């Protein structure tokens, strides 16, 4: 139960972070991350995946070797995991080019925040990939 409460708190914090921050571009701000250890956590449960994706995002371009392991999480049944996967790819930047087709599909996500994060990620990876993309501000 406590784990689920912590996860729900993380959802709120991540949602706020993603809505206010966009994607950073500073390699100087990227922290050293044990990428292989975080990739191993991506195979765990939702909490482990969320923590690993947050760590990989914090690693920025230093986490580039994890791209192929992050891409499948863009299709997760969990909205937060999809959003965090897109955000991690956004932080990794141009080295995540292999994720562009899956991010393009994620632009159609029913969750507006996840769709917006996918667009931000595409723009951070390859600005030309979002040419002509129109974002509607829809209040639900």
* Dihedral, CA of residue 127, residue 10, residue 102 and residue 52, to nearest 10: 100
Q: Each residue of 122-138: pLDDT tens digit? A: 999 999 988 877 655 44
Domains of the chain plus CATH, in order, are 2-127 (1.25.10.10)
User: Residue 19's pLDDT band (boundaries 50, 70, 90)?
Assistant: very low
Question: Do 120 and 93 contact (CB within 8 A), yes or no?
Answer: no
User: Residue 49's pLDDT band (boundaries 50, 70, 90)?
Assistant: very high
| Residues near 41 by beta carbon (within 8 Å), at least 6 away in sequence | 48, 49, 51, 52
Angle between helices 79-92 and 112-125 (to 10 degrees): 20
């Amino acid at each position: 139960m406590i784990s689920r409460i912590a996860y729900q708190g993380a959802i709120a914090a991540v949602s706020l972070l993603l809505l206010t921050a966009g994607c950073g571009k500073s390699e100087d701000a990227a922290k050293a991350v044990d990428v292989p250890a975080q990739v191993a956590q991506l195979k765990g449960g939702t909490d482990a995946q969320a923590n690993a994706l947050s760590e990989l995002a914090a690693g920025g371009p230093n986490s580039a070797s994890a791209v192929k392991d992050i891409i499948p999480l863009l299709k997760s049944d969990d909205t937060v995991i999809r959003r965090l996967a897109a955000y991690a790819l956004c932080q990794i930047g141009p080295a995540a080019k292999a994720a562009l087709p899956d991010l393009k599909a994620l632009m159609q996500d029913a969750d507006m925040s996840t769709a917006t994060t996918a667009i931000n990620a595409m723009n951070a990876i390859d600005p030309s990939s979002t040419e002509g993309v129109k974002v509607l501000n829809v209040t639900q």
